[in-house]
A and B are shown apart, each in its own frame.
Chain A
Amino acid sequence: MMSVPISYLLFLSFGVFCFGACGFLIRKNALSLLICLELMLSGVNIAFVSFSRLHQNEAGNILYFLVITVAACESAVGLALILNFFRIKKNIRLEEANALEG
């Protein structure tokens, strides 16, 4: 099977996570924000599955399933929120979401 160090897989995981985090912080529309959130979760999943493979233990794979459960719930609720936001504001620009004066 594949014979690369675990570090390379962790580098890949960190890279995907950091791209997702950068995208999350620089995007201005709500849909791209949720997409970058999925990218961050995918980067974490790579680390889980890699450690599961390293220790020949299924716990990482099971955490992968829990993470995709949370990702599915989060995307469904987030998209419903975006649809409500679009229904009220007629756009999805995040700088218009200032009702709380944050």
Chain B
Amino acid sequence: MEIQQILFFSFAALILLSAALVALRPRPIESAMWLILNFFLTAGLYILLGSNFVSIIQVLVYAGAIMVLFVFVILLLNLDPREFGSEAGLPWTSLVMFIGFLTFIVLSLHVATPELMKKLPEIKETGAGVFGSIESISMVLLKNYVWGFEIAGVILLLALIGVGLLAYRKPPVRARAIHTSTTDTMKDGGAS
């Protein structure tokens, strides 16, 4: 067994372990910390697969930006256990876990065909440089998938506008807008 296989199996076991801990730890901050570990391990797996740029983006965007947003919101809310509810007492927890593992086994048996059990081929030079490098990815992205690229930009703009609309409140109106009816808020909105 060569070194890459040992690395792959250890990465895979750690990814599954941290995924289980993300799903099962009761507090949101623990879930977020295990998810950061999961993203770093996934970045290591992508390096083993040869997709170096994807691995860097995984660390920068997922573990860097998105998870910092999550941890920031968790620390901003500063919840005590009474406010995020106890995890015990769900009657369908074991049923959901059983169906989840059954789905995993069925899907795994479905792909365990002899054709898919062959080894991965060696990395070869593609038309636009080595597989997984920035040159190769950006050539294919801007040549063949430029509409997807543009639509991703539009999605980011729409999310920006939506978050701005969700977060915006007029400060004097806010205290009344929650506790009174909407007609009062509309009447008082112009005056204050």
Contact = CB atoms under 8 A, between A and B. Distances in A.
Interface of A: 1-12, 14-16, 18-23, 25-29, 31-32, 34-36, 38-39, 42-43, 45-46, 49-50, 52-54, 56-59, 61-62, 64-66, 68-77, 79-84, 86-88, 90-95
Interface of B: 2, 4-5, 7-8, 12, 15-16, 19-20, 22-24, 28, 31-32, 35, 38-39, 42, 45-46, 48-51, 53-54, 57-58, 61-62, 65-66, 69-70, 73-74, 76-77, 79, 82-87, 90, 92-93, 96-97, 100-101, 103-104, 107-108, 111-113, 116-124, 126, 131-132, 136-137, 139-141, 144-145, 148, 152, 155-156, 158-160, 162-163, 166-167, 178
A5 B115 CA distance: 10
Contacts of B65: 72
Q: Is the interface of A mostly helix, strand, loop or mixed?
A: helix
Contact of A5 (B19, B58, B116): B116
Contacts of A52: 51
